[in-house]
Every structure is written in structure tokens, then in C-alpha cells.
Amino acid sequence: MRNSLGIEDKVVVITGASSGIGEATALLLAERGAKVVLGAQGPDRLEALTARIAASGGVAAYLPTDVKRREDVSNLVGLAIERYGKLDVLVNNAGVAPISLLDELRVDDWEEMIDVNLKGVLYGIAAALPVFRRQSFGHLVNVISTAGIQIIPTMAVYAGTKSAVRTITETLRQEAGDKLRVTSVSPGFVRTNLTNSMTNPEVKGQIVERMGKMAIPPAAIARAIAFAIEQPAEVDVNEIVIRPTAQA
């Protein structure tokens, strides 16, 4: 018997779903009976994850999605509506972190973080919010980062995008009214492939070393997301910060 806890039969769109936190969230929610609609840039990984969920008795669909393209995000939400007739939850999870000292002037990396981490979330809101308003229900979950809380060198632009998303999330919560729920989830060090997006070898090596010493599994963040989703409709979990016990 599935442990639904308010998740069963919910339709959940997840960006950045092909690995890390997105993949773990897709697996957990599907196991608990949600219909998951998965978006990411890698079609092969998406297809494999969808097949894995189906083989375990779950329900999943996917669409290759680049969150830097508004049309892609709109199409992902559109797939959920077309396939399953509603949208209960959008998890804005896609993110990149090519961090560096500002003196290095890696402007292309700055723009990539703004386009993915900030504009990608806004495109998700733009796609989901009108659907939520028409339905008179819906839940937006933004995966942010503790980088937007504790500021350290090399993370100026990355943390800036995350702080901006935190501000947007809280503003949306206040504007949402009594039918829509809004949650921010801020992970600390998690064992993901986020370091693959890092272009500075020295900084990447430092982060990989720290992750190796203390990082928690993506499933820990997936459980936090599930906790927010599974609450009764009148309960809105606004903010979750989840770090490794060893993280300062």
C-alpha cells in the first residue's frame, strides 16, 4: 500500500529532473503516488528515469526542457495539463553554479546563472501561476540554496540569484491569497552533479572536496519537498532550510 500522505494523484512538474535533487524528488513523489512530469536538458537521462518510474508502477512523462527558454517551460507545464488535466505542484529545481571571484570577470558564467537560476524560476512562475489561478489551487516549490543565506567569497553572483529567488518567492507567497501555496527549500551541501557546471578548476576542486566530506544525499531534500507537498491544503510550509549536520 502506498504511503500517499496527501501526495497520491497529485500532478507535479519538476525542472532539472534528470539528476540530483530533481531525480530524487521525482522518484520519491512517484513512489508515493504522484504523477510526475519531468523536464531537463538531457533527453536520454529523462527517458531512462521515466522508464524506471514506470517499471516500479509509477506514472511519469517527460519533455526535454531548457529553462532559459520560456517556451520550453510553458510547454512542460502544458504537457502536464494535456496529459493529466491539472497541475498541482511546480518544483523549480534547475540550477547551475559556475562560481568564481568577481575579479575573474567570467561574465558569461554570470549570465548563465542569471538565466538559469533566476529567469528560469520566473519562467516557471509565468507558466504555472495562470494555471493555478484558473484552478483555484496550486503549489509552487522553489529550490534555492543556503548560499543565499550565508555569503562567502566566489559566490557573489550565484548567491545573488538565490537571494533574488528567495525575495520573489516570499513576495509571491504574500500575493498568492488563500488558495495557492508557496514554499522555498534551501539545501546546503548535497551530493549532486552541480559541480559539473563550475568552470574554475580550483574553486571546483575546493567545492568537490567539501562536498565529499559532508554532503548529504539528494533524497534528504526530496523528503523535505515531499513534506511541504503532503500537508493539508490549508497548511502552507513557507520555508525549509536543510543542511548537513557538519555544515557551519
Active site residues: 158
Q: Show the cell assigned to 203.
A: 574553486
Q: Are 225 and 185 in contact (CB under 8 A)?
A: yes
* Beta partners for residue 35, in sequence order: 11, 59
Q: Are the CB atoms for 238 and 13 separated by under 8 Å?
A: no
